[in-house]
A and B are shown apart, each in its own frame.
Chain A
């Protein structure tokens, strides 16, 4: 049984009767058992997965209508609610929280007969870019287990990379799908803001975050997008994509497309191997008929500060609900005064969440909002204008997904500002609502490098076509697990 196949190959194989959902899911669970002690991608595994796969096989045999996933094993970031399943957000605060309903993306995938093999690791409440802030310990990069897998959707990227599932869903607030995709050599897709409903995604910074797929191939991301995008009455920020088929015409090529090379994302602090991979990708795109030119976007210098100011503010408000009276753990209220009870209960938050809550209280507060929050919002507005201007001239933009290679676990954990700056190439897509994708491109000293492409809002189809064209130029070694 070959667990290394893509999602589309899986569907084909099951449809052709070459494999059964039960066999594939069983082998996937065996793989999890074999490698996950070492990699720690999973926070929980679905004990009923094989039973569910048997039911799908039965439907196939009896000729009943089967959803387009045909029992495909998918992992789900543990900040997405699956009804009656524990959803921890990798936090001690929600260690025993049982979700009372399904997220919209889960409902859609259930209708398509996907099988959720388990919930995967993240930085606590998705705040981080290495999974080192998970309350349950970090995930490890399958390319070298001494290194971080990126984050916050680190468990998602590891599980796809290490063949513990065929595809995964993550969430991307400032690069949380694309960063781990780049670090683990898988495809990570952050759609246009509003393309995928966030109903049932535990909120961190609603004004910019999106759910996105992590897959082995660009086509698989397009396939997943077909299944989970579209309007949802439960998320009023969703947009009507008129049931766009992102797979059709994905091989249209990029002949004549104009691509802007963002100079601010290739400046100081970019690792030489990342720089050289990016230059190589640009020349490949040119050889496919694209026209590449440099473009400067001034506000990118301020984007990380604006991003952290805005997200901390929204986190401060969103996480205020964790007072342990509504959600939380066993901790009797008797003997405590109101404020001291909540303060005591919140000690279950890990250090990064606590820090961001303090910042989230500070930057929008009276006397400080003008210097921090309002200025950050103005940077966001100006950045959006600059990016919109860029898209008048270019069809796509290009930059490395992350300016550096994966780093060692523990290497940067005590330097919050240097961790911030790793987000410099990814936050722009979130602040401006544009779609962006990370495509596995190179391996340097045994560590992966991803290339990022951006498109204008609602140009997801064009973006996937370009990503597919670039992907076809690459042949990478297999992950050494």
Chain B
């Protein structure tokens, strides 16, 4: 069972304001509690298989020019830098 405090804590870490208790805490709690079913799957000894991609499948590691200045599309681009809020 996941607690309200745990959800609130993670929300803060995810930089999400939880302003509606029913929409976020209650529903998230119900959703995560449903995942408890995974405990009965009996997969403890199972190996996790990873997707393997051969290096030959990767494209050459080379610079490909783009026809536009993508940086100019950034919201807070100020000509030579991106304006971000101050760190406390």
Contact = CB atoms under 8 A, between A and B. Distances in A.
B80 interface: no
Interface in A340-359: 340-344, 346-347, 349, 351, 354-355, 357-359
A343 B17 contact: yes
A346 B35 contact: no
Given A309-B35, A375-B43, 7 more contacts: A309-B38, A337-B88, A338-B88, A355-B24, A360-B14, A378-B44, A378-B47
Interface-central residue, B31, B84, B86, by most chain A CB under 10 Å: B31
A305 B38 contact: yes
Contacts of A309: 35, 38
B35 to A, nearest CB: 5
A354 B41 contact: no
A338 B43 CA distance: 41
Contacts of B44: 378
Size range of the interface on A?
35 or more
A299 interface: yes
Interface string B76-88: 1000001111111
Contact of B74 (A325, A338, A359): A325
B24 A354 contact: yes
Size range of the interface on B?
35 or more
Interface-central residue, B37, B46, B84, by most chain A CB under 10 Å: B46
B81 to A, nearest CB: 11
A325 B86 contact: no
A358 B24 contact: yes
A207 B28 CA distance: 23
Where chain A touches its partner, the secondary structure class is helix
Interface string B3-35: 000110011011111111001100110111011
A372 B49 contact: no
Interface of A: 98, 100-101, 207, 233-234, 236-237, 299, 301-302, 305-306, 308-309, 316, 323-331, 333, 336-344, 346-347, 349, 351, 354-355, 357-363, 365, 371-372, 374-382, 384, 416-417, 420
B64 to A, nearest CB: 9
Given A363-B32, A416-B27, A333 B85 contact: yes
Contacts of B53: 236-237
B27 A382 contact: no
A336 B18 CA distance: 18
Given A237-B53, A328-B75, A363 B86 contact: no
Contacts of B16: 343, 346, 349, 354, 357-358
Nearest to A333: B85
Nearest to B7: A358
A380 B47 CA distance: 10
Q: 4 closest A-B pairs (Cβ-Cβ)?
A: A378-B43, A341-B85, A378-B46, A361-B14
Contacts of A357: 14, 16
Contacts of A299: 41
Interface-central residue, A98, A237, A378, by most chain B CB under 10 Å: A378
